[in-house]
């Protein structure tokens, strides 16, 4: 960048921008393989050399997860990649589903712990009594504790004079189903921070074939069947628990429904008929049976254009996008799909909802609907961040340019990709939607998110902060596209 090109900026801003460009040029001239230590720059590999893309001039906020370059694993990450190979790498997706069972049935697990001498509710009751005695202040009414306990017992549907141990046992049974929220939005980002990034650059370019692909299919099939078994189990558990537990079970289980969108997304693109059938079953379980058609025939065709409901526009906050994406996708399908197809979508969800209502009552049905809403909300959050602000150019003939790697945001954080079957390697998926998940790879010269999906999902819920982080990066992508 020359100084003359910066005359439109203020003198001070121009001087600083020129200075950063000068430093970036000097860093780019360093020997191959040497990474810049500047906080403002990020090295990216281009061919065999290393150049530096400067971000500070754009004003983008940095992310702790960007401490590693794309494809850079920590020592622990390298050990995991070296020792856990093939389809075993994606087993965490199954492990976290099975881990939900003791939290879901804590009203059974807690008595089992008590039978071996671990009386957790009693310990919490004693701790509460001790804290209350130490923290008690003069301004507190003597009846305040009784009033608080009365409110808690009413919410938990317990008698007012219930012993403290029973109150704590019920609180644990209500709160523990929310552990998936803690795992996905707290624990998993920390694991990503520690393990680092892996873009799967050595992945095979070939499509499904042989034992290698069968093993990876077994992983997503197992995950799908576990989820379909856990859904009625969760509805059964909620039927015998307090009303508040219906909400917590629905929210916690809904995050597993969100991972099922990743599984069903993989299956619906499969050339194997049984895979597509399982995908439709999973989509009915999350109350989104039309997603197969909206994704394949609307999103993949129109991605990056104003006509695509699932492409977020620059400056569009998530809440507006959520309504537009859900409503417009349904509207477009209602105009184009046959009546028989629309009736089949209704029949699938009606069958599941009716069966759960008959078997487990209104609370069982409520769990189904709540977990479906959380799953759909998570899906649309992912849709929002995957293509935010990225546009395909309209050509002279009125058509749009071909989809390229620059039309999807990517994230190569290793741990998250092991949980959601490489969904974050999204550019490669749009270039070849039939490529199986284990063969997807990251393009280092494509748009890169500053954090894994769980971090970006939370960021999307705060539009001003999301725009502050993403819009400067979007400027970079647009500038590099023009230069290219």
pTM of the model: 0.85
Q: Are 332 and 441 found together in one domain?
A: yes
Is residue 167 within 8 Å of 149, Cβ to Cβ? yes
User: What gap in Å lies between CA 323 and CA 321, rounded to an integer?
Assistant: 6
Is residue 256 within 8 Å of 230, Cβ to Cβ? yes
Q: Which two tokens stand for residue 411?
A: 């994230």
- Say if 68 falls within a structural domain: no
- Say if 131 falls within a structural domain: yes
Domain that holds residue 434: 75-96+179-483
Q: Are 416 and 445 found together in one domain?
A: yes
Q: Among 232, 230, 210, 219, which Cα is nearest to 275's?
A: 219
Q: Are 155 and 198 found together in one domain?
A: no
Q: Are 239 and 363 found together in one domain?
A: yes
Q: Are 148 and 183 found together in one domain?
A: no
- Say if 155 falls within a structural domain: yes
Q: Are 328 and 296 found together in one domain?
A: yes
Q: Give the count of domains, the chain.
A: 2
- Say if 69 falls within a structural domain: no
Could you tell me the maximum CA-CA distance found in the chain, to the nearest angstrom? 80
Q: Are 367 and 395 found together in one domain?
A: yes
- Say if 83 falls within a structural domain: yes
Q: List, in sequence order, every residue forming a beta bridge with 50; answer none if it has no partner.
A: 45
Q: Are 88 and 183 found together in one domain?
A: yes
User: What gap in Å lies between CA 148 and CA 167, rounded to an integer?
Assistant: 12
- Say if 326 falls within a structural domain: yes
Q: Which two tokens stand for residue 164?
A: 């403290």
The pLDDT value recorded for residue 58 is: 52
Q: Among 419, 206, 427, which Cα is nearest to 300's?
A: 427
Q: Are 278 and 368 found together in one domain?
A: yes
Q: Which residues of the chain have pLDDT under 70?
A: 1-59, 136-142, 145, 203-212, 483-484
Q: Among 90, 35, 45, which Cα is nearest to 71's?
A: 45
Q: Are 165 and 183 found together in one domain?
A: no
CB atoms under 10 Å from CB of 339, counted, come to: 8
Q: Among 340, 362, 343, 344, which Cα is nearest to 353's?
A: 362
Q: Are 271 and 190 found together in one domain?
A: yes
Q: Are 117 and 207 found together in one domain?
A: no
- Say if 33 falls within a structural domain: no
The pLDDT value recorded for residue 304 is: 97
Is residue 463 within 8 Å of 317, Cβ to Cβ? yes
The pLDDT value recorded for residue 139 is: 55
- Say if 54 falls within a structural domain: no
- SS3 for the chain, per residue? CCCHHHCCCCHHHHHHHHHHHHHHHHHHCCCCCCCCCCCCEEEEEECCEEEEEECHHHCCCCCHHHHCCCCCECHHHHHHHHHCCHHHHHCHHHHHHHHHHHHHCHHHHHHHHHHCCCCHHHHHHHHHHHHHHHHCCCCCCCCHHHHHHHHHHHHCCCCCCCCHHHHHHHHHHHHHHHHHHHHHHHHHHHHHHHHEECCCCCCCCCCCCHHHHHHHHHHHHHHHHHHHHHHHHHHHHHHCCCHHHHHHHHHHHHHHHHHHHHHHHHHHCCCCHHHHHHHHHHHHHCCCCCHHHHHHHHHHHHCCCCCCCCCCCCCCCHHHHHHHHHHHHHHHHHHHCCHHHHHHHHHHHHHHHHHHHHHHHHHHHHHHHHHHHHHHHHHHHHHHHHCCCCCCCECCCCCECCCCHHHCCECCEHHHHHHCCCCCCHHHHHHCCCCCHHHCCCCCCCCECCCCHHHHHHHHCCHHHHHHHHHHHHHHHHHHHHHC
């Amino acid at each position: 960048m020359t100084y003359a090109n910066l005359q439109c900026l203020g003198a001070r801003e121009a001087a600083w921008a020129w200075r950063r460009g000068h430093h970036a040029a000097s860093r780019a001239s360093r020997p191959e393989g040497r990474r810049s230590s500047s906080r403002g720059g990020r090295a990216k590999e281009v061919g065999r050399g290393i150049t530096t893309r400067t971000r500070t001039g754009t004003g983008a906020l940095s992310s702790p997860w960007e401490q590693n370059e794309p494809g850079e694993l920590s020592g622990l990450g390298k050990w995991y990649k070296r020792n856990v190979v093939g389809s075993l790498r994606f087993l965490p997706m199954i492990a976290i589903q099975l881990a939900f069972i003791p939290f879901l049935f804590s009203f059974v697990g807690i008595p089992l712990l008590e039978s071996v001498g671990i009386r957790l509710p009693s310990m919490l009751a004693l701790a509460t009594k001790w804290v209350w005695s130490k923290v008690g202040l003069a301004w507190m009414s003597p009846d305040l504790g009784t009033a608080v306990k009365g409110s808690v017992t009413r919410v938990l549907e317990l008698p007012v004079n219930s012993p403290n141990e029973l109150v704590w046992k019920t609180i644990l049974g209500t709160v523990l189903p929310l552990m998936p929220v803690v795992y996905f939005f707290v624990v998993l980002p920390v694991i990503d921070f520690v393990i680092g990034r892996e873009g799967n650059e050595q992945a095979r370019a070939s499509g499904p074939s042989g034992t290698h692909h069968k093993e990876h299919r077994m992983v997503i099939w197992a995950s799908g069947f576990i989820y379909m078994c856990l859904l009625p189990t969760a509805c059964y558990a909620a039927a015998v628990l307090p009303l508040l537990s219906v909400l917590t079970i629905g929210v916690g289980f809904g995050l597993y429904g969100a991972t099922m969108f990743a599984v069903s997304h993989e299956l619906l693109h499969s050339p194997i008929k049984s895979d597509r059938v399982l995908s439709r079953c999973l989509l009915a379980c999350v109350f989104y049976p039309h997603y197969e058609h909206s994704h394949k025939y609307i999103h993949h065709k129109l991605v990056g254009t104003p006509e695509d409901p699932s492409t977020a526009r620059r400056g569009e906050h998530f809440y507006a996008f959520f309504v537009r994406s859900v409503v417009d996708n349904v509207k477009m399908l209602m105009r184009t799909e046959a009546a028989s197809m629309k009736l089949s979508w209704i029949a699938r969800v009606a069958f599941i909802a009716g069966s759960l209502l008959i078997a487990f009552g209104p609370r069982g049905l409520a769990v189904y609907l709540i977990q479906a809403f959380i799953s759909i909300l998570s899906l649309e959050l992912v849709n929002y961040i995957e293509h935010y602000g990225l546009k395909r150019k309209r050509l002279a003939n009125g058509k749009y340019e071909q989809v390229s790697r620059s039309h999807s945001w990517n994230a190569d954080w290793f741990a998250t990709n092991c949980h959601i079957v490489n969904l974050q390697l999204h550019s490669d998926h749009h270039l070849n939607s039939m490529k199986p998940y284990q063969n997807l790879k990251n393009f280092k010269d494509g748009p890169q998110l500053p954090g894994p999906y769980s971090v970006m999902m939370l960021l999307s819920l705060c539009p001003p902060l999301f725009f502050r982080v993403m819009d400067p990066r979007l400027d970079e992508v647009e500038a590099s596209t023009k230069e290219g």
